[in-house]
Amino acid sequence: MELLKAEKNTLEERIQLTFGLAKLLEDQQRYAQSFMYLEEGNRLKRSTYTFSLEFYQKVIDRICEVYSLETFQRFAGKGCESTVPIFIVGLPRSGTTLVEQILASHPDVFGAGELSLFVETVEQYVEVEVLNGQEVIPADLSLSRKDFSILGEMYVNKLQQYAPGSRHIIDKMPGNFLHLGLINLVLPRARIIHCTRDPVDTCLSMYKKLFTHGHQYAYNLQELGEYYLLYRRLMKHWYRVSPGKFMELSYEELVRNQADETRRLLDFCGLDWHDGCLNFYKYKRPVSTASSVQVRRPITSRSVGLWKKYEPELQPLLSVLQPYLDN
């Protein structure tokens, strides 16, 4: 704590120190003090950039407009029939790395990590829209049957370079939830797993994480809650316009019933049972996400309901999420 008072510290160093102190104090179960530093670290980080959720609101409005029920009916059956891809989507800190590690412990599955491959493939083939000066998918859907198939094949060919000959390859980019419309159209037989977790635990876990890049919504409790509601709004849209296309996997249910949920996961992916999937923490593979330490250990319930330790401090977040929590 004395280090934090040093006048020679740069802003970046102060941000790093406050997040580090918050983690140290949480490990000591000094939750009120931990949050004091966590709040300061997030305030400092948020002061380093300009940000508005208006962009995401416009993007999701546009996605829901383009990828309507009529769109899915019109373009049904026009994509690539490959069953190689498995997509794992959701918000950061919702269990996506854990689910990838479980699946990658199966001999028929390769975990390729968080890839920007789908967006890059689309941008090479389709002219994307521009909103607020930023490129956005969805793109123009005036495509032919051949176009959808080619786009899917391009993606699969690039994906297979990560593990030639593997039966299934995982693309675990959580943010692909924004692109599930086009993913479903160009890869109709791909497995898509949507990882969910208690909304408040999810948001708190993101608030505690100093991301290396992006996730600018995560450093203010009100903005974080509003972003969460936008994400759930879009997922509700996907479930409505493409029912039966996703497996939803709850982190809490996986903690409570690991064997049953693992079996359900393997069944959804068309995989035979493999005991190694229960001992996923023994499987050695590179993991570069924020959950790299957790997936080296057996599943525990330690982080389930952790937000209740911070309930008084989380009122700005809870007030935003309340309409969702009441449903």
The b-or-e profile of 179-205 (16+ CB within 10 A means b, else e) is: bbbbbbbbbbebbbbbbbbbbbbbbbb
The DSSP-derived string for 163-195 is STT-SEEEE--GGGGGGHHHHHHH-TT-EEEEE
169 shares a domain with 27: no
Summary mean pLDDT of the chain: 89
* Host domain of residue 9: 1-48
36 shares a domain with 59: no
Give the whole-angstrom CA distance, residue 98 versus residue 303: 13
The dihedrals phi and psi of 298, each to the nearest 5 degrees, come to -60, 160
Amino acid at 240: R
Give the whole-angstrom CA distance, residue 278 versus residue 148: 37
174 shares a domain with 37: no
**CATH code, 68:** 3.40.50.300
249 shares a domain with 236: yes
Number of domains comprising the chain: 2
What residues pair up with 131 in beta bridges, in sequence order? 134
Domain boundary among 48, 65, 83: 48
pTM across the whole model: 0.91
Given a cut of 70, is residue 158 above it in pLDDT?
yes
pLDDT in tens, 119-156: 889 888 776 665 555 555 554 465 666 788 999 999 99
Which structure tokens are listed for 167?
């039966």
Residue 77, pLDDT score: 84
Give the whole-angstrom CA distance, residue 294 versus residue 108: 23
Give the whole-angstrom CA distance, residue 278 versus residue 282: 9
pLDDT in tens, 163-211: 999 999 999 999 999 999 999 999 999 999 999 999 999 999 999 999 9
42 shares a domain with 128: no
Given a cut of 90, is residue 299 above it in pLDDT?
no
213 shares a domain with 287: yes
132 shares a domain with 33: no
Which structure tokens are listed for 301?
């319930």
What is the band of 248 on the pLDDT scale with cuts at 50, 70, 90? very high
216 shares a domain with 72: yes
> Which candidate, 222, 219, 214, 141, places its Cα nearest to that of 184?
141
